Amino acid sequence: MNRLFVTILIPALILSGCAGASGGSQAGGAPTVSAYQAVVDAAATVGTTATVEAAATVGATATVGTTGAPATATSLPAVEPVATDLSDFEEATTIALGEAIQVAGPGVAVSGGTVTITAGGAYRLSGALRDGQLIVQAPDTDKVKVLLSGVDIACANSAPIYIISAEKVTLTLADGTQNTVTDSESYALAEGEDEPNAAIFSKEDLTINGNGALVVNANHDHGIASKDSLKITAGNITVNAVGDGLRGKDEVTIKDATIAIQAGGDGIQSSNDADPERGFVAIESGTLQITAGLDGIQAETDLTISGGYIAISTGGGSANSSQNRGGMWGRAAAATADTPSAKGLKGVASVTIDGGVLVIDSSDDAIHSNGTVTINGGEITIASGDDGVHADTKLEINGGAIAIAKSYEGLESAIIVIHDGNIHVAASDDGLNVAGGADGSAMGGRPGQGMFNTSSGQYLEIAGGYLAVDAQGDGLDSNGTIKMSGGTAIVNGPTSNGNGALDHAGFQMTGGFLLAVGSAGMAQAPDASSTQYALMANLNSAQAAGALVHIQSQDGKQVLTFAPTKPYQSVVFSSPDLQKGETYTISIGGKATGSATDGLYSGGAHSGGSQAASLTISSIITTYGSAGMGGFGGGRPGRQP
């Protein structure tokens, strides 16, 4: 994989052999929340629309109010310490590091500055190695437990901690201790070998726990890597790496830990693509702050997040989307292996989010899968230089609060299904884009330039939830069909007549609340297959941003009062309140009292304004003014992985 180079500040070692500075430990402690807060602040200020304002308070509902807010510097909780069983270390072999290494107990061999654990059991380490190495080389049926109790290990020509063999190794961070591991830029490897390649490197299953702190400075390549599984179940861990921060070939599982990663490559990666049961990343709880040159979290199979507080910045953030990173980005799915990827969350097979608070500022897609993305819960705030959420095959949203404050396209997939959730989207192109193909990183640094295009079997389905879209391109764009049976969809569409608030190849409206305003040139409404009445009014002239749209029935009942965020000329509206045979008056301007959420007023009253149209519902779709020219969705070639 090509690596995006970013500046990583790591304490430099000017060493030859394994002779170098160890001495004092680098300051550790809990990672700051400054990066997290910067993303929250950016999400709250990107753009000028009501949708973006709502992103700062994730969760504005169809009725007035909010369901929650993203974490901030004051609300980001500390991870509660987890009780760690230290009874195994009561009779542990003790190893005191220093110029003269002292060992009390069996299972250890010492040669110069190298300490080798040769048998299963428990070991307690303390002290510093200015130029040395801890090696675990035990029988593959033995379990090894190592208590790091204030160690500082530096090595110039290899991994400071190198686990060669054992059944399983556990590194426990002793309560209240600071532990530091630092390598150098160059390793002395045998010809043809590329391992070890991490400051803490394991060929076996590796678990890290305990309530102490660990700082890993990886100047050679990766921070902490296991060729099997990597599990972090507690601890305060800081990783600075020129390569990837955390790697577990078969899996990476994290819970109850505080982790800060600054990486030139991926923040967290699981790379096994040969076994569908492996190569996954699972985050259950904890606090993670990741700044990565490439992907924030990358899984070759499945990425699952069920809880925790996660802040991710990739590729320099969403503001960096216009830069050309390494030349022409791939044109087809086959080219993806050599294509730089700076996505926030990426699961090649799937991404599933069941809970947690996530803030992502990414130069590439914020959430991406070559397969499926499923969001069942959580609070997600996104600023993306490309798609907010992208799935090649299917995107399903069943709950949660999603605020996409900045994106090229907000939600994109061949199939998008919304059952529930609170969704706000701001997009410089399409708000929701239903199209087929292989998407991924932008080409030549420009978002939206891959092979994501028209094919059969694509659709958008809205069965529930709340959706507010503010798009400069098409609002809801389906290269196939749209079906809406429930929920609320509010669309502030384009001002250009080359796009429409709705763009589809068929739209069946059977329930729910739909409001779409925008330009009139390509305006479309639901079609005659619908069972719920709808009206479309293409006005004689464009109206100013903020000029109220007011619809009332012939008996004076207020049906709709809405303040669009941009100039508009077309209004499409469908609601269970519309009745056949009723006459409805559309007025523009005036004043409204009551409360407004995403421009939609509830309670209060409307006064003033000028009548723009009067329509009597005589069929499923009733129109006023010149019909739009909208046709099939799409027309823009999509993008690439």
Q: Which DSSP category does 2 fall into? A: -
Lowest model confidence (mean pLDDT) among 16-30, 205-219, 563-577, 602-616: 16-30
pLDDT digits (tens, 9 = 90+) for 193-234: 778 999 999 999 999 999 999 999 999 999 999 999 999 999
pLDDT digits (tens, 9 = 90+) for 598-612: 999 999 999 999 999
pLDDT digits (tens, 9 = 90+) for 459-484: 999 999 999 999 999 999 999 999 99
pLDDT digits (tens, 9 = 90+) for 507-563: 999 999 999 999 999 999 999 999 999 999 999 999 999 999 999 999 999 999 999
Q: In terms of Cα–Cα distance, which of 477, 524, 471 is closest to 494?
A: 471
If pLDDT is split at 50, 70 and 90, which confidence band does 135 have? very high
If pLDDT is split at 50, 70 and 90, which confidence band does 456 have? low
Residue range 368-375: average pLDDT?
Answer: 98
The structural domains of the chain, with segments of one domain joined by +, span: 533-623
Residue range 309-331: average pLDDT?
Answer: 68
| pLDDT confidence of residue 340 | 83
Residue 149 has pLDDT above 60, yes or no: yes
Residue 357 has pLDDT above 60, yes or no: yes
Residue range 188-194: average pLDDT?
Answer: 78
CA–CA gap between residue 319 and residue 447 (Å, rounded): 12
CA–CA gap between residue 334 and residue 534 (Å, rounded): 45
CA–CA gap between residue 357 and residue 566 (Å, rounded): 31
Residue range 374-398: average pLDDT?
Answer: 98
Secondary structure of 575-615 as H, E, C letters: CCCCCCCCEEEEEECCEECCEEECCEEECCCEECCEEEEEE
Q: In terms of Cα–Cα distance, which of 603, 597, 602 is closest to 51?
A: 597
Residue 191 has pLDDT above 50, yes or no: yes
Backbone φ, ψ for residue 240 (5° rounding):
-115, 115
Residue range 23-40: average pLDDT?
Answer: 34
Give me the percent of the chain exceeding a pLDDT of 70: 79
Residue 256 has pLDDT above 70, yes or no: yes
Number of CB atoms found within 10 A of residue 498's CB: 12
If one compares 533 and 322, the residue with the highest pLDDT of the two is 533
Lowest model confidence (mean pLDDT) among 21-35, 232-246, 547-561: 21-35
Backbone φ, ψ for residue 183 (5° rounding):
-110, -175
If pLDDT is split at 50, 70 and 90, which confidence band does 10 have? very low
pLDDT digits (tens, 9 = 90+) for 224-236: 999 999 999 999 9
Instruction: Report the DSSP beta bridge partners of residue 329.
Output: none
> What string of DSSP letters covers 48-76?
SSHHHHHHTTS-B-SSSSBS-----TTT-
| pLDDT confidence of residue 114 | 97
| pLDDT confidence of residue 83 | 80
Residue 4 has pLDDT above 60, yes or no: no
> What string of DSSP letters covers 307-327?
S-EEEEEETT-GGGTTS-SSS
CA–CA gap between residue 423 and residue 400 (Å, rounded): 8
Residue 446 has pLDDT above 50, yes or no: no
| pLDDT confidence of residue 45 | 38
| pLDDT confidence of residue 587 | 98
Residue 439 has pLDDT above 80, yes or no: no
User: Quick check: helix, strand or coil at residue 630?
Assistant: coil
Read off the tokens for 130. 């200015």
If pLDDT is split at 50, 70 and 90, which confidence band does 189 have? confident
Q: Model pTM?
A: 0.86
User: Quick check: helix, strand or coil at residue 458?
Assistant: coil
| Average pLDDT score over the chain | 84
Fold of 533-623: Immunoglobulin-like (2.60.40)
Residue 310 has pLDDT above 80, yes or no: yes
| pLDDT confidence of residue 57 | 32
If one compares 632 and 348, the residue with the highest pLDDT of the two is 348
Distances (CA, A) of 586 to 359, 411, 595, 609: 40, 31, 20, 10
If one compares 492 and 12, the residue with the highest pLDDT of the two is 492
Number of CB atoms found within 10 A of residue 619's CB: 10
Residue range 613-628: average pLDDT?
Answer: 89
If one compares 251 and 456, the residue with the highest pLDDT of the two is 251
